Amino acid sequence: MNRINVVKIGGNVIDNPEALERFAHDFAALPSPKILIHGGGKLATRLGEQLHIPAQMIDGRRVTDADTLDVVTMVYAGLLNKRIVALLQREGCNALGLSGADGDVIRAVRRKSEPIDFGFVGDIDASKINTVLLRTLLDSGVTPVFCAITHDGNGSLLNSNADSVASAVAVAASAIAPTSLIFCFEKAGVLRNVEDEGSVIGEIRPDNYATLRAEGAINKGMIPKIDNAFAAIDAGVQSVIIKHSDSLLQESGTTVKK
């Protein structure tokens, strides 16, 4: 099989209908095989507010109780996933939306309730991806579109982190064909100076990463993302690219590689 492109988009694209249409157009033009993973955006928070299901945060992280799980399932697996699939179909991309429960494609483990009970939150790893089904879909010319709802195999849906789903899916896809993982966000890449879109760091390798960190050239919030990128590469992904969602088809952004 040809190189697999695994692309992740976040709330900044999803919350903006024009940006989402532009992205769908570009994504459809990206060579196949390919896989899309989408985050949630602000719609779930807004729906929760309308339904008087207030967001509960602990240490800055959202708690997913049973009512919140219903809200995120409706928004992520229902509204957003199907909207994105319909847009991609319009663009001629044969998208097929999936939660982790569908075809048992991503089984997660509910996070322990100690020390903090985050509720129906599921952690995943690449060994829990149904690679056989993934290969069948890709072989059929289908483009899987994942939301970050997973399941425990015991009847419960779980809320997972979309970046983690993207990394795990990319690692699993690496067993099928060489795989690139592309994180699209609202900046042109990893910036030396967050105020300057022109200051993109073109390449991060283990040898310059230490230096960049020591110089303070990488924003603190980026460090866990880059650590995760290196973890995905260690697990078999060929390269991880961090770039703006408007320049999916351009050579641009920051490439993390060994």
Residues that bind a second copy (CB under 8 A): 47, 50-51, 70, 73-79, 81-83, 85-87, 89-90, 94-99, 101-104, 132-133, 136, 140, 142, 149, 151, 153-157
**Of 83 and 257, which has the nearer Cβ to a second copy?**
83
Single-letter residue type at 106: I
**Of 75 and 233, which has the nearer Cβ to a second copy?**
75
- Quote the least distance from Cβ 133 to a second copy, whole Å: 7
- Quote the least distance from Cβ 202 to a second copy, whole Å: 36
Give residues with Cβ within 8 angstroms of 75, minimum separation 6: 40, 43, 44, 47
- Quote the least distance from Cβ 142 to a second copy, whole Å: 6
- Quote the least distance from Cβ 162 to a second copy, whole Å: 16
Strand 109-110 and strand 95-98: pairing? unpaired
CA distance 154 to 132: 21
Burial (CB count within 10 angstroms: exposed 0-12, middle 13-18, buried 19+), residue 60: exposed
- Quote the least distance from Cβ 96 to a second copy, whole Å: 4
**Of 155 and 198, which has the nearer Cβ to a second copy?**
155
**Of 65 and 178, which has the nearer Cβ to a second copy?**
65
Say whether 15 sits in a helix, a strand or coil: coil
**Of 147 and 222, which has the nearer Cβ to a second copy?**
147
**Of 154 and 211, which has the nearer Cβ to a second copy?**
154
The CA angle 240-39-125, to the nearest 5 degrees, is 60
The phi and psi torsions of 34 (rounded to 5 degrees) equal -155, 160
Q: How far is CA 108 from CA 8, 44, 111, 155, 196, in A?
A: 19, 21, 9, 12, 39
CB 219 within 8 A of CB 236: no
DSSP E strands, 100-193: 109-110, 122-123, 143-146, 149-151, 157-159, 179-185
Cα of 196 vs its chain's centroid, Å = 25
Listing DSSP states for 56-80 in one string gives -EETTEE-B-HHHHHHHIIIIIIII
**Of 55 and 194, which has the nearer Cβ to a second copy?**
55
- Quote the least distance from Cβ 237 to a second copy, whole Å: 25
- Quote the least distance from Cβ 58 to a second copy, whole Å: 25
